[in-house]
């Protein structure tokens, strides 16, 4: 599926570091809602604690991107990983809402430094004709980490408790610090004279439309990861690990096909179908929660999430100069934080007032409406921009 020309020693190190970093983060997604509930927090408080991660990342994303453009990826990546290690260890001392919010906020700051800088490094380590492949492989390894963590976190927690989750997360994050390349060989050299103000970068249709689309995707994803376990427990179902297994398998398998699907459907066309898939999946979860349907929805969620990030990142790569990619990817990554914040905090309020099923109905309705907007107004803007390139 991928050309051998994209591989070199430094890039393989970055791939492995990316896998371990996102593995460390995703050990906590299936576990933290239940853990915070066990500490006596209600649904709204659980949403606030989970969403603090996104707020911490959201406040620093673009600034971290500008630091990457100015000073390079290496110091920004190292700082982000170090801060993430400290935040993960602090989870052990998060015995109340305020300390839980603080820990999640610090973890979000670490993510904001790492994610945009690492993605920028990946796009600059290869010639332009191999950028799509490089982004696909980079994000594929992230999905390896996500898949491993998502499918094993509940098992680790059931046998070793929350301490084992913290130990696994800390170990994986330290490995990412050791493995990422400290002296990467960049094939594309950013030119300082091409740097634009943040406002000009953000006004690029390829940047802001991709960011809006990824936000819709992450609202759905965060709603599922935060409230699906609570929905199932409320219905007396305590074993739903097959949902996470089907999600993990699908998210990895779909990433292998992103380059071919982008070539056949175009990245902007693939983005539209991903949005429709998420809207349909949310509606199904809202009304049907049988074990078989959950397995199918896990696979559907994995396919959509596996394709979304690299497909939309490909649009940004095609529309921005190398000297502005740190800022562009920093802004793009804010979609993860905005989506997770809305999916955890706003949907926590929805769950508290109208119940868990209403969470998925609201997320699906929002994504369906955005899909219509994308098809009628936003996608034509992208088409005009690509025609002008």
Greater model confidence, 47 or 22 = 22
What per-residue confidence (pLDDT) applies to 310? 86
Greater model confidence, 28 or 191 = 28
Give the chain's mean pLDDT. 86
Contact 327, 70 (CB under 8 A): no
Average pLDDT over residues 136-165: 86
Total domains in the fold of the chain: 1
Label residue 107 by pLDDT band (50, 70, 90): very high
- Give yes or no for residue 4 having a pLDDT over 60: no
Average pLDDT over residues 328-355: 84
Task: Give the span between the Cα atoms of 5 and 7, in whole angstroms.
Answer: 6
Cα angle value 374/375/381 (rounded, 5°): 70
Is 191 among the domain residues? no
Contact 114, 21 (CB under 8 A): yes
Is 89 among the domain residues? yes
Contact 84, 111 (CB under 8 A): yes
Task: Give the span between the Cα atoms of 156 and 168, in whole angstroms.
Answer: 9
What per-residue confidence (pLDDT) applies to 228? 85
Question: What domain range is 347 assigned to?
Answer: 4-180+196-388
Is 111 among the domain residues? yes
Average pLDDT over residues 238-257: 81
Task: Give the span between the Cα atoms of 86 and 175, in whole angstroms.
Answer: 14
Contact 19, 175 (CB under 8 A): no
Residue 122 to residues 24, 295, 300, 313, 356, Cα–Cα distance (Å): 20, 33, 28, 12, 39
Is 98 among the domain residues? yes
Average pLDDT over residues 11-21: 93
Q: State the pTM of this model.
A: 0.78
Can you read off the two tokens belonging to residue 14? 């970055």
What per-residue confidence (pLDDT) applies to 43? 76
Cα angle value 386/4/264 (rounded, 5°): 35
Is 188 among the domain residues? no
Can you read off the two tokens belonging to residue 168? 């696994």
Task: Give the span between the Cα atoms of 136 and 231, in whole angstroms.
Answer: 33
Label residue 133 by pLDDT band (50, 70, 90): confident
CATH at 21:
1.20.1250.20
Average pLDDT over residues 210-238: 87
- Per-residue pLDDT of 206-218, as tens digits, reads 999 999 999 999 9
Is 187 among the domain residues? no
Greater model confidence, 367 or 190 = 367
- Give yes or no for residue 2 having a pLDDT over 60: no
Label residue 138 by pLDDT band (50, 70, 90): confident
What per-residue confidence (pLDDT) applies to 219? 94
What per-residue confidence (pLDDT) applies to 6? 59
What per-residue confidence (pLDDT) applies to 1? 53
Is 186 among the domain residues? no
Judged by average pLDDT, the poorest of 4-8, 107-111, 141-145, 213-217 is: 4-8
129: exposed, middle or buried (Cβ count in 10 Å: 0-12, 13-18, 19+): exposed
What per-residue confidence (pLDDT) applies to 281? 95
Contact 46, 33 (CB under 8 A): yes
């Amino acid at each position: 599926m991928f050309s051998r020309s994209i591989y070199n020693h430094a890039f393989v190190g970055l791939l492995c570091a990316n896998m371990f970093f996102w593995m460390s983060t995703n050990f906590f997604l299936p576990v933290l809602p239940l853990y915070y509930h066990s500490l006596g927090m209600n649904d709204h408080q659980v949403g606030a604690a989970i969403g603090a991660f996104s707020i911490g990342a959201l406040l620093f994303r673009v600034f971290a991107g500008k630091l990457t453009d100015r000073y390079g990826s290496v110091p920004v990546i190292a700082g982000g990983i170090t801060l993430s290690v400290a935040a993960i260890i602090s989870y052990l001392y998060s015995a109340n809402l305020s300390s839980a919010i603080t820990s999640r906020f610090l973890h979000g700051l670490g993510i904001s430094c790492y994610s945009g800088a690492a993605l920028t490094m990946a796009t600059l380590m290869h010639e332009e004709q191999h950028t799509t492949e490089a982004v696909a492989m980079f994000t594929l390894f992230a999905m390896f980490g996500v898949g491993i963590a998502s499918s094993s976190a509940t098992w680790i927690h059931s046998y070793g408790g929350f301490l084992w989750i913290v130990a696994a997360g800390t170990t994986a994050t330290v490995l990412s610090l050791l493995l990422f390349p400290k002296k990467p060989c960049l094939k594309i050299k950013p030119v300082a004279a091409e740097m634009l103000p943040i406002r000009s970068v953000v006004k690029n249709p390829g940047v802001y439309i991709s960011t809006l689309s990824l936000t819709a995707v992450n609202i759905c994803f965060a709603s599922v990861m935060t409230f699906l376990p609570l929905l199932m427990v409320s219905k007396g179902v305590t074993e739903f690990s097959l949902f996470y297994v089907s999600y993990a398998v699908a998210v990895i398998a779909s990433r292998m096909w992103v380059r071919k699907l982008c070539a056949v459907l175009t990245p902007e066309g693939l983005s539209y179908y991903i949005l429709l898939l998420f809207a349909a999946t949310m509606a199904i979860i809202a009304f049907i929660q049988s074990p078989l349907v959950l397995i199918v929805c896990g696979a559907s969620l994995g396919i959509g999430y596996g394709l979304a990030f690299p497909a939309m990142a490909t649009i940004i790569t095609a529309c921005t100069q190398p000297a502005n990619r740190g800022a562009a990817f920093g802004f793009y990554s804010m979609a993860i934080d905005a989506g997770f914040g809305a999916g955890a905090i706003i949907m926590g309020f929805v769950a508290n007032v109208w119940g868990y099923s209403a969470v998925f109905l609201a997320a699906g309705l929002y994504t369906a409406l955005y899909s219509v907007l994308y098809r009628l107004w936003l996608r034509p803007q992208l088409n005009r921009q690509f025609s002008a390139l």
